[in-house]
Amino acid sequence: MLPLYRSFIYCALLLLSLLALPAAAQSGGSTTPATLRGTVRDAATGEVLIGATVLVPATQQGTATLLDGTFSLKGLKPGAAVAVQAQTLGYAPQLLTVALPAGTTQTLEFKLAATGRELTEVLVAGHMDRESAEQARRSEQKADNVVNIIAARTIELSPDVTVGNVVQRASGVSVVRNSGGDGQYAIIRGMDRRYNYTLVNGIKIPSPDPKNRYVPLDIFPAELLERLEVVKALTPNMEGDAIGGAMNMVMKSAPDHLVVAATAAGGFSDLFASRTFAGFSTSGQARQSPSETHPAGYQAQPGDFSNKALNYSSLKLPVNSLFGLTLGNRTKDGKLGLLVAGSFQNTYRGSDRLFYQPLGQPKPDPQPNTFTFDEIQRREYSLLQTRVGLHAKLDYVLNARNRISLYSLLVRLDDAQHRHIVTNDLGTGGDVPVQDQSRFQRQQLWSETLQGDHTLLPRLSLNWSAVYGRATFATPDQTTVGLVRATAANTQQGTFVQSNTHLWQRSLDQDVAGYANLNFAATDRLDFTVGGMLRNKDRSNFYDYYDLAGATTGTGTNNRQVFTSYDQARFAFNSSYDGLAKTTDANNYTGTERITAGYAQAKLLLAQKLQILGGVRLENTRQHYDSQLPTSAVGKSGTLTYLDILPSVHLKYLLSERQNLRASYFKGISRPNLYELIPGTNNLDNEYYTSAGNPYLKHTQADNYDLRYEHYGPANSQLLAGVFYKNIQNPIEYGFKQVGNNSSYYQPQNFGTAVNYGAELVFIKYLGHLGLTGNYTYTHSSITTTKRVYYRDANGNLQNADAGQPTAEYPTAPTQTRPLQGQSDHIANLALLYRNETSGFNAQVAAVYTGRRIIAVSPYKDLDQWQRATTQLDFSTEQKLPHHLTAFLKITNLLNTPTVVEVMQAPTTSLLSAPEQTRTDRILVQRDEYNRTYLLGLRYRLN
């Protein structure tokens, strides 16, 4: 926890220096002026209103309320009856008169009446600013289930520009980062990505990932969001396949007045001050593999491949740019509303990695499973990410009883990644490999949702959605060239051409779905909802791969080809059949998944105090795959069907107007990825072990219990404290499975039952201009899986013990109990905010603490790879300017926090002299540095 303290001190120092700025801008008044203090509140709820304008119309002196709803007007002209007006969006202005004797300080309390109708559920009040933090707090309070919400205004103020980074600020969520250091996948309450799902406006979206069903979150620009909800307890009307939780991206919706917002920003990553950005051009890349552009049976020739993508540029401090535009309006009669928003981000990211590439098999001496590595690599990543997001929401109110809306979303992330690997020059010589890889990857998601809301009878309403979603992934001609620098004694010295690979990969994940919900409000305190859903998913994957070797130059010992440039390098196929298309590779597969679901739920309010929401959901799953495995393979195609009955109950007890007590139970599931079911094999690390899919894999089921106390104080302060417990049946983990005499596959399997429990704490407190928000989650999980132990027995023989291979020392397979992959015992967020509505200056320092966690599970006992605990510190600030403009600055990763991966084993003495091996109790495997990014921009907002 020490780094957390350090970052806290950092925050405090930064904020103190910022506070000094606006304070100096204050000026004195004329003779014996008066002062007026007070608070602006919601007349109905007593909730304080932040940022409300308090104005003396006669003198045009004014201010805005602070984070705790208070205001203070100094230097006022005294008078017997001074008119003062308070107003804010969504409320009727209030004009009060007060006597202001000279030199006195008077107080005045405003109570504004809301003009909008207020709903009880997560649906937000019509005229309130739906994107505000206030509204997020209110939604959390009013929600039927356990949910955490981050509002658009909070995001805007935060250092984050992609959803992948935003989500790490939510309570109980940690992220897995991409090679540029941005959050990519969310781990919710210690449950890895496979146990969570992602929604857009409550609708599940397909995934562009070629093997998995979870959605990379770094493809979504943050500025399209109205809010991000993390739902941790599922109600019957939600899809049941989440155990950790569901992330719902609620996108900006049509306003009731003209909204114009635009953003332009530029910045850089200071990684590229210390080294250059080495990018490549994707023009001229072959979209299709030789097997696609030639007739069936074609054997590719070395001349069919181009290595032009390996001509790298060298840019010093390339400029990142971000643009956003949002336009929205509604017709005068209020019937037709439209919002269109677009976002474009062009960012140069990168990281430097030190990597001890683990050998597929540890050493048996001096102790069993002694960690060992193949080589030490220095990797440099240069990524150009181009992120485009476009969405449009159109809603049309036919009449008071009928409303339809159409929502369209297109997001695309182009990721041009150059990976440069140099094997560290240690030791006594040999071949030093150098490798460059150019990978262009396009991930795209397109989704259309047509929805209708109909009041059929005064107490009976229907809503429905028709959804089309299409996620695609394409990596055309991923090119790798390997060179070696020969340094050994007694050999030819120089740099030589070694290897070349070309990979084409595409996938499509397409959903067609329909949802319908029928709600009957029997009384004001009891309503019933029944509904159903049908989704048909089609998935297809294309994979083609070519492996070439550096052409040798004639006979003789020294026939290696001397490297001059990538353009000059010549390659050849080793076997004449290597040029054939890889049509029967198991990575080529198609699959379908049909989910048919129905539910019934009831919501009952007892004695105005206790709300009970409960019901049951039935989900029927039918999965089918067709692989390109040979006809002789068992499981070339397969069909799996199962039915789940998923009950849930959610209790909410209103201790007081400001306090809730919640208790809930739900049953959730997690389905295997289609790819995991296909029994094709892949040899990892070549001869070390073979991995394979598993068509006998069962889906995971979990019983989830939640208890949470909520306190919603004045001025948007909040305190949430809760505990959770999950009992997970058939979790999916990797382990060895016997396939023959002393032979095994490493494959996904079900391993009994795992438990996961923990506690969460969320708090928000504002004092004047200062705010402190934070959350802390403790998680504990435990799973036991089989592992392999390689050791020397008492007789001096080397033995392998694992599943199907009993030995004298291990009559049954060795097992290991560990936390679930990705689960940190402690995760925390802390942000210190300064907001001055008068001067329009905001600043925030945000820290994210992620405790140590397993990021890679080793097939060998005690060799799991742990990511060391990290504290990342980010800073953002903004200043309102005239003409609806705001200037902002975001700096991420102030501390340049490295990601360090370790194996918890004491290194041997000789290893201690290797780079970065500073600990005697653990071995460093990987160390990534991303450096800081800076972004400076201007935002324009009309209304």
Partner 1 sequence: MKLFTTALRGTGLVALAALGLLASCNKSNEEVELSTPPLSVGHPVNNSAPIGGPIKGTMQQDLEYNVTADVFVNAGDTLVIQPGVKVNFLGNFNFIIKGTLLSLGSQAKPVYFRAKNATTNTVVAHTDQVSADPATDPAYQGLWGGILGDVTCPLMVLKWTHVEFGGGTVVVSPVSAGIANNKNTYPIFFQNPLGAFILEDSWVYGATDDPIRVLGGRIQVMRNTFEKGGKTGGESLNIKSGTTGNIAYNLFVGTATNGSKASNNGGKNPQTNIYMYNNTYIHCGFRRNSAGRGGSINYEEGSRGVYYNNLMVNCKYGPRVVGSGNYLGNVLVVADTANLRYGYSLNYVDSLALANEIYPTAFLTKPQATDIPLPSSWLPAGYRLGQVYTAPQSLLRANNPQFVNFPLPAPVRRLADVNTVGTYNFHLLASSPALGKGYTGFQPLATSPAIPVNANFGATAITLPSRDLGAYPSDNSGNQH
Short-list 202, 204, 205, 224, CA closest to 391 = 224
Mask 386-425, x = binds partner 1 (CB under 8 A)?
A: -------------------------------------x-x
Residues 6+ apart with CB under 8 A from 809: 791, 793, 799, 801
Residue in the structure block whose two tokens are 């230097």: 75
Q: Per CB under 8 A, does 577 bind partner 1?
A: yes
Binding to partner 1 in span 248-277, by CB under 8 A? none
Binding to partner 1 in span 850-879, by CB under 8 A? none
CA distance 304 to 145: 58
Short-list 205, 202, 209, CA closest to 185 = 209
Q: Which range binds partner 1 by CB under 8 A, 13-21, 56-64, 305-313, 584-592?
A: 584-592
- What DSSP designation does 914 have? S
Q: Which range binds partner 1 by CB under 8 A, 22-30, 199-207, 320-328, 682-690?
A: 682-690
Is residue 728 within 8 A of residue 704, CB to CB? The reply is no
Nearer to partner 1, 270 or 547 (CB): 547
Binding to partner 1 in span 76-135, by CB under 8 A? none
- Strand residues in 657-797 grouped as ranges (E): 659-670, 681-684, 689-692, 700-712, 718-729, 732-740, 743-750, 753-767, 770-786, 789-792
Q: Per CB under 8 A, does 825 bind partner 1?
A: no
Q: Per CB under 8 A, does 375 bind partner 1?
A: yes
Short-list 169, 179, 184, CA closest to 216 = 184
- Taking residue 193's Cβ as centre, other Cβ atoms within 10 Å add up to 24
Q: Per CB under 8 A, does 847 bind partner 1?
A: no
Mask 325-364, x = binds partner 1 (CB under 8 A)?
A: ----------------------------------xxx-xx
Q: What distance lies between CA 578 and its chain's CA centroid?
A: 39
Residues 6+ apart with CB under 8 A from 285: 309, 440, 476, 477
Q: Per CB under 8 A, does 303 bind partner 1?
A: no
Binding to partner 1 in span 514-533, by CB under 8 A? none
Contacting residue, 27, 283, 557, 812, with partner 1 by CB under 8 A: 557
Q: Least distance in Å: CB of 787 to partner 1? A: 11
Q: Least distance in Å: CB of 785 to partner 1? A: 16
Q: Per CB under 8 A, does 680 bind partner 1?
A: yes
Total number of residues binding partner 1 (CB under 8 A)?
82
Nearer to partner 1, 425 or 916 (CB): 425
Q: Per CB under 8 A, does 714 bind partner 1?
A: no
Q: What distance lies between CA 508 and its chain's CA centroid?
A: 21
Q: Per CB under 8 A, does 296 bind partner 1?
A: no
Nearer to partner 1, 29 or 806 (CB): 806
Is residue 443 within 8 A of residue 210, CB to CB? The reply is no
Q: Least distance in Å: CB of 130 to partner 1? A: 51
Q: Per CB under 8 A, does 744 bind partner 1?
A: yes
Mask 892-931, x = binds partner 1 (CB under 8 A)?
A: ------------------x---------------------
Q: What is the dihedral of CA 523, 524, 528, 531, to 10 degrees?
A: 130
Is residue 591 within 8 A of residue 624, CB to CB? The reply is yes
Contacting residue, 28, 334, 458, 556, with partner 1 by CB under 8 A: 556
Q: Per CB under 8 A, does 68 bind partner 1?
A: no
What is the full DSSP assignment across 590-609?
A: EEEEEEEEEEEEEEEEETTT
Q: Per CB under 8 A, does 802 bind partner 1?
A: yes
Nearer to partner 1, 179 or 291 (CB): 291
- By CB atoms closer than 10 A (0-12, 13-18, 19+), residue 791 is buried
Nearer to partner 1, 681 or 753 (CB): 681
Q: Per CB under 8 A, does 812 bind partner 1?
A: no
Nearer to partner 1, 30 or 555 (CB): 555
Mask 466-505, x = binds partner 1 (CB under 8 A)?
A: ------------------x-xxxxxx----x---------
CA distance 856 to 858: 6
CA distance 137 to 866: 35
Enclosing H/E stretch for 11: helix 2-24
Helix (H, G, I), strand (E, B) or coil at 576: helix
Q: Least distance in Å: CB of 5 to partner 1? A: 39
Residues 6+ apart with CB under 8 A from 5: none
Q: Least distance in Å: CB of 308 to partner 1? A: 24
Q: Per CB under 8 A, does 741 bind partner 1?
A: yes
Q: How many Cα atoms occupy the beta-carbon half-sphere of 531 within 13 Å?
A: 23
Q: Per CB under 8 A, does 642 bind partner 1?
A: no
Contacting residue, 288, 805, 879, 905, with partner 1 by CB under 8 A: 805
Q: Least distance in Å: CB of 475 to partner 1? A: 16
Binding to partner 1 in span 433-462, by CB under 8 A? 433
Contacting residue, 585, 626, 703, 825, with partner 1 by CB under 8 A: 585
CA distance 496 to 481: 11
Residue in the structure block whose two tokens are 């540890």: 362
Nearer to partner 1, 740 or 811 (CB): 740
Q: Per CB under 8 A, does 429 bind partner 1?
A: yes
CA distance 223 to 574: 50
Q: Least distance in Å: CB of 538 to partner 1? A: 23
Q: Least distance in Å: CB of 488 to partner 1? A: 4
Q: How far is CA 677 from CA 165, 471, 620, 643, in A?
A: 31, 21, 18, 18
Q: Per CB under 8 A, does 582 bind partner 1?
A: yes
Nearer to partner 1, 349 or 636 (CB): 636
Q: Per CB under 8 A, does 626 bind partner 1?
A: no
Helix runs in 143-216, H state only? 152-157, 163-166
Q: Per CB under 8 A, does 304 bind partner 1?
A: no
Contacting residue, 796, 812, 817, 883, with partner 1 by CB under 8 A: 796
CA distance 868 to 3: 12
Q: What is the dihedral of CA 814, 820, 825, 830, to 10 degrees?
A: 160
Nearer to partner 1, 531 or 680 (CB): 680
Q: Least distance in Å: CB of 430 to partner 1? A: 4
Nearer to partner 1, 99 or 426 (CB): 426
Nearer to partner 1, 485 or 868 (CB): 485
